[in-house]
Amino acid sequence: MSLNAPKPAGRADQTLSLNMKLLSHHGLAGFGGMGEGMAMQQTRDGRRIMWMAHESAPKNFTGVDVTDPRAPKLVVQTELPHMQVRSNSLDVVGDIMVVAYQTKTVNLKPAGIDIFDISTPEKPKLISHFDCSGPYSRGVHCVWFVDGKTVHIASGAPDFQPRNPLDDQFYRIIDISNPAKPVETGRWWYPGTREGDAAPAPARLPAPFDMGFRTHNTNVYPERPDRAYIGYIDGGAIVLDISDQSHIKVASQWNHSPPFNGFTHTVLPLFKRDLWVVSDECVMDDGKDWPKLVWMVDARNEANPVPIGTFPMPPPDVFTKRGGRFGAHNLHENLPLPLSFQSDTIVVCTFFNGGVRVYDTSNPYQVQEVAYFVPGAPTMSPSGAIQLNDVYVDERQIVYTMDRFGGGLYVLEMNI
């Protein structure tokens, strides 16, 4: 190959794939910039609706009928009240949907969660709003809601003043057994991050990687209702003992940074195998925060989690030049729900311009990539490349993934 010829995989217009086939693509009516909230509803009339939170205003969330994955149909798309708020995250159990609201700056509204009745998907009905706004709060970045009564959130609060404004979101448990009256039942923040804490403030990562000691994903599974698996951004992977919600304690803590560049995003436990899959989030374009990886962690001894490997990545010399971000982000999180794919060996991840990738972790010391799909750049994408942001796999093993800027929803079939 001549020295200056672009490598085919490095050309952002090229669609790349291995063992994955595009079944359909939906541009979401021109508003295809999507966040990291995807959930599936089985309606009473037998339809399957994929609910997706948008990355940014003006749109709030979109519902698409994916009963036939080859012919997705837009069912509903809603508006945010103003341009300074984003929804980003949502979850669905039965006919109840929880949506996050995070504002661009502190002290704005709405900053909290909305609870909707979506029994008629065309007309989501607001049941209640749980307000998390405050002088130091931007509201809620992420929600986790899988048991029909508890919402685990990464959120600020009216009474929470962080020492460093980057540490404004912490872990909160909200009981919505009565969806009309949500109440907080527990909270935990990284010691030393709140004004008045006895603990010293944690040491920051060096610039430009100082992104905050705050909560990102907050996963709780029925296998271990007493544990919350938390990606705590620069605080690493933290597993909390939540058996007593008024006295939440740390059960495990593992942080690869420094020397790595922080931003722990998701901690996905593989229960039958005592493993965690931990993903970072890439937050800088053109490989400036490389490497952002997916890690395999041996969690047999929860007091001493040990990293045993990372997932193989496509070549950074090719992908960091493809445009936009390249690195790990969301995983399919084995939601304990009937319409969610659940596997202790197959892990599906999004990597922004690296597309969506499927891994076989049967041998945790040598994880294998078994499939991938990297869509060609969506038209008018500001980064000039695909930026796959989140992924959901249904129990039929159909993969749904969405772009951060403009590309909308891609529906794929795995051949693994």
Partner 1 sequence: MRDPLSGKLPVTLITGFLGSGKTTLISRLLKHPDMKRVAVVINEIGEIGIDPDLVTMSSENVSLLANGCLCCTVRTDLQETLRELFGQRRAGQIADFDRVIVETTGLADPAPVVQTLVSDTMLAAQYRLDGVVTLVDAVNGAALLEQQPEAKKQIALADRILITKSDLSNEAAITVLREAIHAVNPQADSRIVLMGVIEPSELTGLGLASARAGAGTLRFLGEALDGSSESGERYLRERTGSRHDPAINTLSLRFDTRFTWETFSAAMELLTTLRGPDMLRVKGIVNVDGKAVVVQGVQHIFHPPVELDRWPSADTGTRLVFITRNIRAETIRGLFAAVSAVTANT
Backbone angles phi, psi at 267, to 5 degrees: -120, 110
Smallest gap, in angstroms, from Cβ of residue 316 to partner 1?
10
- Which of 62, 87, 83 minimizes the C-alpha distance to 400? 62
Min dist CB 7 to partner 1, Å, is: 5
Asked whether position 106 contacts partner 1 by CB under 8 A, the answer is no
- Position 130 contacts partner 1 (CB under 8 A): no
Range in contact with partner 1 (rule: CB under 8 A) among 5-13, 106-114, 171-179, 233-241: 5-13
* Closest CB to partner 1 among residues 2, 379: 2
Query: What residues contact residue 292 under an 8 Å CB cut-off, 6+ apart?
Result: 261, 263, 280, 281, 282, 283, 327, 328, 329
Beta-carbon contacts of 68 under 8 Å, excluding residues fewer than 6 positions away, are none
Q: Is the dihedral of CA 170, 176, 180, 182 positive or negative?
A: negative
d(CA 140, CA 101): 5
Judged by CB under 8 A, the stretch of 88-96, 238-246, 311-319, 387-395 that binds partner 1 is 311-319
Write the binding mask 324 to 353 for partner 1: x where contact by CB under 8 A, - elsewhere. Answer: ---------------------xx-------
Minimum CB–partner distance for residue 352 and partner 1 (Å): 16
Nearer to partner 1, 79 or 317 (CB): 317
Q: Is residue 5 exposed (0-12), middle (13-18) or buried (19+ Cβ within 10 Å)?
A: exposed
Question: Which CB atom, from 9 or from 166, has the smaller least distance to partner 1?
Answer: 9
From CA 182, how far away is CA 363, in angstroms rounded?
43
Q: What secondary structure does DSSP assign to 168-184, as a single string?
A: --EEEEEE-SSTTS-EE
**Shortest distance in whole angstroms from residue 1 CB to partner 1:** 4
Q: Among the candidate windows 7-15, 49-57, 128-136, 270-278, which touches partner 1 by CB under 8 A?
A: 7-15
Interface stretch with partner 1, choices 4-12, 144-152, 159-167, 199-207 (CB under 8 A): 4-12
Question: Which runs of consecutive H residues, i.e. helices, occur in 192-331?
Answer: 316-319
From 184-192, 225-233, 298-306, 315-323, span contacting partner 1 (CB under 8 A): 315-323
The span from the CA of 373 to the CA of 384, in Å, is: 17
Residue 273: helix, strand or coil by DSSP? helix
Q: How far apart are the first and last CA of the chain?
A: 31
Number of residues that bind partner 1 (CB under 8 A): 23
Q: In what order do the strands lie in the sheet with 356-360?
A: 16-18, 368-374, 356-360, 346-350
**Are the beta carbons of 331 and 347 closer than 8 angstroms?**
yes
Binding track, positions 359-378, relative to partner 1; x by CB under 8 A:
-x-x-------xx-------
Q: State which of residues 3, 5, 180, 303 lies at the interface with partner 1 (CB under 8 A).
A: 5
**240 neighbors 188 (Cβ within 8 angstroms):** yes
Nearer to partner 1, 147 or 369 (CB): 369
- Which of 29, 199, 203, 416 lies at the binding interface for partner 1 (CB under 8 A)? 416
Considering the complex, what minimum distance in angstroms separates the CB of residue 370 from partner 1?
A: 5
Q: Is 310 in the site for partner 1 (CB under 8 A)?
A: no
- Nearest distance, CB of residue 90 and partner 1, angstroms: 31
d(CA 24, CA 375): 12
How many other C-beta atoms can be found within 10 angstroms of the C-beta atom of residue 353?
A: 30
Q: Which residue, 6 or 382, is less far from partner 1 as judged by CB?
A: 6
Among positions 109, 318, 376, 384, the unique one binding partner 1 when judged by CB under 8 A = 318
Smallest distance, partner 1 to C-beta of residue 317, A: 8
Rule CB under 8 A: which residues touch partner 1? 1, 5, 7-10, 14, 16-19, 314-315, 318-319, 345-346, 360, 362, 370-371, 415-416
